[in-house]
Amino acid sequence: MTTSTPGPGSTPARPVDASVQAELTRLRESIDNIDAAVVHMLAERFKCTQQVGHLKAAHHLPPADPARESRQITRLRQLAESARLDPAFAEKLLNFIIAEVIRHHETIADESRTDESRGDAPQLP
């Protein structure tokens, strides 16, 4: 038995053997599971970085830590190489995540300063 799988875009797809379609489905289900795990891991990471942001704000530390960020990029590039992942891709991904973390830390620091100016005690999560 064969089925047709539409390709991205325009032309009609040619028939795909059922065994090939089954393998595609199996692999795509694995990819979907990995994507779900990545999202959950990122959520856990951001929970931790939010706590770091509150701690930094409570102690008037800067939102960014360039030395730590540089060490993390170096470490992640090494991990990527050992995992046979493009280190440049890994660095781009980490830079994106770091930028988002810094943005969160800046927001937390701004909120902390506003609370302090009103006389509110800083709140840790």
DSSP conformation letters of 57-82: HHTT--S--HHHHHHHHHHHHHHHHH
Please answer whether residues 13 and 4 qualify as being in contact, where contact means their C-beta atoms are separated by less than 8 angstroms.
Answer: yes
Kindly list the distances between the CA atom of residue 76 and the CA atoms of 97, 110, 111, in Å, as whole numbers in the listed order.
Answer: 12, 30, 31
Kindly list the distances between the CA atom of residue 49 and the CA atoms of 26, 34, 60, 61, 103, in Å, as whole numbers in the listed order.
Answer: 35, 22, 16, 14, 11
Residuewise pLDDT in 10s, the chain (125 residues): 555 555 565 566 788 899 999 999 999 999 999 999 999 999 999 999 999 999 999 999 999 999 999 999 999 999 999 999 999 999 999 999 999 999 999 999 999 888 777 776 555 55
Report angle CA 101, 103, 107 to the nearest 5 degrees. 115
Instruction: State residue 7's pLDDT score.
Output: 57
pTM comes to 0.76
91: helix, strand or coil? helix
Instruction: State residue 116's pLDDT score.
Output: 77
- Return the structure tokens found at 59: 């102690």
Instruction: State residue 120's pLDDT score.
Output: 63
